């Protein structure tokens, strides 16, 4: 264990970073609750269309306030379209899983996204598979088996959707990494909200009917729009204040928190297998984070 992996960087503010990450955990949890609250009234396409439309309003207000419209452009349209098509599909799968599987199972399987990223980065970006990355990926695979329990329990469409959405999120991370090299985060988020609003409303209107949220559902839809952007803003703010080795373990709190929420609000039992599988998945993620943090200073020294 190296000092680089255990000691905060100079200027690190771990308490503030922890506060931002607790905000992110709260935002993701509220997003799951809000999604379930409107699941009987809106389908996933309508839900994402309205959520992204709210995101457009928020992004437009932020960009105007910062006087940053000059950073908005549609260069590299292929990357933007590919990223948002994959992300749109992954989010639809995530919400479908939320409606049709236990919340703890969905969150546990969602946490395999960074582990899929390790595998896909090797295939698509040619990144090297180190020993910690291989161990992390194996932990994730065993964790998936414990959570899904193929053979001992029926493999439901909700669980399949949760597993597939993790792969979609991993592909989204890869494309986002490619985009951040050529454009600003503001531009990426702006086109995410615009393109996914169009995708959502087009897909929702294929059958000729787009349901409008009722007066009871509208506050939940507004909450979805706010928490969707708010969660990622909290994570970004935390990463500015502390290294990933300190920040990302707080994200793992989502699993026990959502398990308790599922028990209290939806009477979903907390399965020992889900907790064990989730622990393996989160352990694999944490192992990879610490290994990457130790490897980067070494690589910088050798450069």
At 297 the pLDDT is: 54
Q: Quick one: pLDDT at residue 64? A: 96
pTM of structure = 0.82
Structure-token pair, residue 193: 């909200």
* Cα 279 from Cα 8, distance rounded (Å): 25
Q: Give the start-to-end residue ranges of the domains of the chain.
A: 11-302
| Predicted pLDDT of residue 7 | 37
* Mean pLDDT, contiguous 10-residue spans, the chain (303 residues): 37 80 92 92 92 93 94 92 95 93 89 82 74 80 79 79 92 86 89 94 89 92 90 83 74 85 90 85 80 58 38
- Count Cα neighbours of 78 within 13 Å in the Cβ-side half-sphere: 1
Spacing of C-alpha 167 from chain mean position: 11
**For residue 126, is it left (φ>0), alpha (ψ between -120 and 50) or beta?**
left
Closest CA to 174 of 98, 116, 97, 249: 116
């Amino acid at each position: 264990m190296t000092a680089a992996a255990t000691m905060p960087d100079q200027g690190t503010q771990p308490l503030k970073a922890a506060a931002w990450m607790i905000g992110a955990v709260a935002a993701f949890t509220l997003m799951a609750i809000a999604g379930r609250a409107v699941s009987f009234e809106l389908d996933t396409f309508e839900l994402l269309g309205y959520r992204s439309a709210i995101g457009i309003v928020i992004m437009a207000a932020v960009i105007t306030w910062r006087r940053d419209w000059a950073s908005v452009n549609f260069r590299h349209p292929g990357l933007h379209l590919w990223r948002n098509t994959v992300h749109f599909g992954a989010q639809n799968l995530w919400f479908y899983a939320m409606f049709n599987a236990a919340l703890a199972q969905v969150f546990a399987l969602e946490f395999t996204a960074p582990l899929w990223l390790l595998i896909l980065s090797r295939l698509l970006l040619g990144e090297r598979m180190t020993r910690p990355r291989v161990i992390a990926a194996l932990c994730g695979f065993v964790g998936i088996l414990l959570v899904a329990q193929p053979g001992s329990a029926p493999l439901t469409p909700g669980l399949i959707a949760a597993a597939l959405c993790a792969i979609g999120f991993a592909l989204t991370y890869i494309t986002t990494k490619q985009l951040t090299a050529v454009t600003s985060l503001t531009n990426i988020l702006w086109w995410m909200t615009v393109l996914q609003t169009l995708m959502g409303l087009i897909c929702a209107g294929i059958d000729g009917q787009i349901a409008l949220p009722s007066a009871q559902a509208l506050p939940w839809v507004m909450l979805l729009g706010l928490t969707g952007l708010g969660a990622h803003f909290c994570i970004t703010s935390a990463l500015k204040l502390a290294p990933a080795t300190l920040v990302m373990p707080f994200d793992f709190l989502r699993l026990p928190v959502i398990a308790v929420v599922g028990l209290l609000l939806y009477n979903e039992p907390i399965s020992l297998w889900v907790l064990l599988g989730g622990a393996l998945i989160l352990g694999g993620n944490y192992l990879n984070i610490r290994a990457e943090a130790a490897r980067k200073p070494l690589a910088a020294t050798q450069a």
